[in-house]
Amino acid sequence: MVRAALTPTRRIGQAPSRYATLVPAITVVAAALLAALPIISMTGWYPDFGYLVFIGWRLLRADPWPAWWAAPLGFVNDLFTGYPLGFSVALWSATMLALDLIDRRTMWRDYRTEWVLAAVLIAIDQWLQWRIAKLVDAAPPLSQMAPPLVISICVFPLFAWLISRIDAWRLGR
């Protein structure tokens, strides 16, 4: 027993991945690319994958990427998903700012508060999408936005878990 506990779990020579600083941004771009999947849905209930991964990283760590990267990452998401250009650029930058301000206020965080925080951010994302669709007279009734919101919130823990695995891998833990 003691011997087992003393055996190091780390393999010798295991170190952070060479691209550890780039991995979070790459996963966000990959998630944005999920919009290219050949899914033909007439309801639009799938989550905004790019944003889920984005807030997943930001809630896990304070500095997954330099703060200004939010804008180009959002631009990539806008291009691949077909949102009006600039939507994710502004929203993702604002998210970075908002979460930094929240980080200064909060004394402690646990898993449930993070989920609530993520749920609020996802709700803001969905509502803004609806609001912008309304600007061009293309908004469905607000009640139609409820199913995608619930789906996104329920799916978030899965993304958070995946991101924590990727984080452990990139840091060589």
- What does the binding site for another protein look like in residue numbers (CB under 8 A)? 33, 35-49, 62-63, 66-68, 70-71, 74-75, 79-94, 96-97, 100, 103-104, 129-130, 132-133, 135-140, 144-145, 148
Q: Please state the closest distance from residue 8 (CB atom) to another protein, in A.
A: 31
Nearer to another protein, 16 or 86 (CB): 86
> What is the Cα–Cα distance from 50 to 4, expressed in whole angstroms?
41
Nearer to another protein, 85 or 154 (CB): 85
Show Cβ contacts of residue 113 under 8 Å, excluding neighbours closer than 6 positions: 106
Q: Please state the closest distance from residue 117 (CB atom) to another protein, in A.
A: 14
Nearer to another protein, 75 or 115 (CB): 75
DSSP-derived secondary structure letter, 18: T
Nearer to another protein, 123 or 132 (CB): 132
Say if CB 15 and CB 172 are below 8 A apart.
Answer: yes
Angstrom distances, CA of residue 100 to CA of 95, 105, 114: 8, 9, 14
Q: Please state the closest distance from residue 92 (CB atom) to another protein, in A.
A: 8
140 backbone φψ class: left, alpha, beta (φ>0; ψ -120 to 50): beta
3-state secondary structure of 173: coil
> What is the Cα–Cα distance from 51 to 92, expressed in whole angstroms?
8
Nearer to another protein, 7 or 61 (CB): 61
Q: Please state the closest distance from residue 42 (CB atom) to another protein, in A.
A: 3
Structure tokens at 124: 């803001």
Q: Please state the closest distance from residue 120 (CB atom) to another protein, in A.
A: 18
